[in-house]
Structure 1
Amino acid sequence: MITTPDGTIVCETVLTPVCAENEPCRIIVAVMRDITERKKREHELQKMKQRLKASEERYRKLVEFLPEAIIVFNREGRIIYVNIAAVKLLGAKQKKDIVGNFIWKFLYNQAQAPKKMRQRWQKALGVQSSFIEELLRLDGKMIYSEVLLSSIEYGGEPAIQGIFRDVTERINYERQLEFLAFHDPLTGLPNRRLFLDIVSQSIEEAKQTKKGLAVMYLDMDHFKDVNDTLGHEIGDQLLKRFAKRLKENIGANAVPCRIGGDEFLVLFKDIKKRADIEKLVRRLYKNIQEPYKIKEYEIKVTISIGIAVYPADGTTPKELIRRADQALYEAKIERNSYRFYIQ
């Protein structure tokens, strides 16, 4: 370091002795290079690193104990920081189980990762809006998480901060409410509301394909006797077993529905001729009447069925159901039988 009238400069010095042969060295050549600017830059860089470290430490102190899971990852998706809540959210035991992995690893539907996920996340990042993502924890459990992304600087490099909040319970509750709005709570079958929508859609499809449809209206004969003699608990179990057997015996191209009590509807699609319906009904009769073993009871069930065919008997869902109900009324005169609607 040398002090001059203009100030202090920092020099890098190389000393080289100059010696004559067989003489002691009396001359030393000094080569000096001004490295003042380099040292200034190194000093500034060191100060910057210290500021970044202090800033990073402040950031960690700020988010480390937040209840929301914080995950920071770089532009390639590699995770560089997680807080304690994120460790818990992702089913890990410690941070090192997560840090260093790509965020795409925790996407439940990994067939979408990383391209589609990046596109969706980049869009959300641009508008600063939250979205729901299905995540796969390290313990194999799937959860729903609300995600809010923002751009930050971490360690002096551009990064993305994700705030993750577990909303699995809320999503499951909402889906349960949605399911109950369109399904019978006892049997899980579609309810009348959903059935009407399905029939309406199927009619539109039938107009294009020129194929027929049939709506079957059925109820269990003497079901009230089961409730009266064995109790409503046994009656409910019988309805559940009956609905399951009904669904198993109508084929993949049919839709069952429980209206209420012991009354059910079935939509048969792609019907070509009346014989197709009769074949399905006979199979249903045979299998539905096998005894039901519930607790210590063995219950035998018979059914009455009314059938209306599209387009001959009606061209709207309500009309087809009404005509099938009228045919059911005729079948119930004898019971354990089926009738087609007759004008």
Structure 2
Amino acid sequence: YKHKQIEELSKRFKVLVEDFTDVIGIIDCQGKIMYISETSKKVIGYKREEVIGKNILDFFQGKDKERIMEMMDFVLNNPNKTVQGDVTMTVSKLNIPIYLEMKMKNLLNEPIVEGLVVYMNNITRRVEMEKRMAHISTHDSLTGLPNRIYFRKQLKIQCEHVQKTKSKFALMMLEIGGLKYVNYSLGYEMGDKFILEIVNRLKSYLGENMFLSRYSEDHFAVIVPGEKSKQEYDDMGRGLVDLFKTPFTVGNYDLDAYVNIGICICPYDGQDGIQ
């Protein structure tokens, strides 16, 4: 009987609901979906018949499921308040994440509703744009490497880790010589290709466990984690120098570069990333 009442209510406001950009749903105290608006297909990728009767928690995982449980608990204990949170739903048939802004309100005492009202707005484009902007602001546009901003954050994290664990790591600053000469004599396009060849060689030598950053135009920073001896750090530095003994082939040119390296070991040469 209650389900029929809800259906009659949705028909009465059908035009409003269809034009609404959010998904409107009603769930019971355990999370069972009793009603969901027609916009569900457009906003979250599920038809009404695919979700009605199922538990809202079944569509979420991990921390997102915990967040919704917290929201339900909050509105059940605070009937006059609305709670809001951002959660991620994975559309199983497409296996793609959808980012949702969710609001929830307790209307159990409203005879025509008798449930928890859930509003869901798809904010995937906004979240992805924010992620792209964050990546652009922290990565070098040419090489894709972390830039100075990202490096400083990572260095701070590494220093804090060393202080907590009483461990150590090495920081290597590389100054690449020969880049400006290529830019001036062969042009900046050739100079960019030269830098990419240098980065590829550095990546191949350092592997995935080393943090490599383009600190500035001709400076790179390497964070070497893990317990190593001073001799091992020195050997790695010499290996980096040896990388530049062989010319870099860029187009029809064999280009030479050299490197100056400074090495400091945390915590012996500094502990906070500033010293």
Smaller-chain TM-score bracket: 0.7 to 0.9
Selected match of 2:188 from 232, 242, 252 = 232
Aligned positions of 1:175-186 closer than 5 A: 175-186=131-142
* Correspondence for 2:97: 142
What TM-score does the superposition give when structure 2 sets the normalisation length? 0.76
Number of aligned residue pairs? 270
- Tell me by how many angstroms 1:111 deviates: 3.6
- Quote the Cα distance in structure 1 between the aligned partners of 2:94 and 2:3: 38
Judged with a 3 Å threshold, the aligned counterparts in structure 2 of structure 1 residues 238 and 170 are, in CA distance, closer, same or farther, namely farther
Identity score, percent = 24
1:202 aligns with 2:158: yes
Matches within 5 A, 1:14-93: 54-92=8-46
- Any idea what SS the aligned residue of 1:142 has? strand
Which residue does 1:307 correspond to in 2? 263
Normalised to the residue count of structure 1, the TM-score between the two structures is 0.63
User: Alpha-carbon deviation of 1:132?
Assistant: 0.9
CA-to-aligned-CA distance 1:108-148 (integer Å, 9 cap, x gap): xx245755532244336744132111112342221211111
- Does the 8 Å contact 1:246/1:288 carry over to 2? no
Aligned residue in 2 for 1:152: 107
Helix, strand or coil: the match of 1:184?
A: coil
Instruction: Indicate the residue corresponding to 1:317 in structure 2.
Output: 273
User: 1-side partners of 2:243 and 2:57: how far apart?
Assistant: 49
Deviation digits for residues 257-293 of structure 1, max 9, x if unmatched?
2221121111223454221112222443455666656
Aligned amino acid, residue 74 of structure 2: K
Q: RCO higher in 1 or 2 (8 Å CA, sep ≥ 6)?
A: 2
Structure 1: which amino acid aligns with 2:214? R
In structure 2, the residue matched to 1:164 is 120
SS of the residue corresponding to residue 122 of structure 1 reads helix
Which residue pairs with 1:101 in the alignment? 54
How far residue 169 of structure 1 moved from its aligned partner, in angstroms, is: 1.9
2:170 aligned partner, one-letter code: A
C-alpha contact (below 8 Å) 1:89/1:166 kept by paired residues: yes
> Which one is further off, 287-296 or 250-259?
287-296
Task: Give the Cα–Cα distance (whole angstroms) in 2 for the partners of residues 53 and 173 of structure 1.
Answer: 37
Q: Which letter does structure 1 place at the counterpart of 2:33?
A: I
1:52 Cα deviation (Å)? 6.6
Query: What secondary structure sits across from 2:83 in the alignment?
Result: coil
2:117 is aligned with 1:174: no
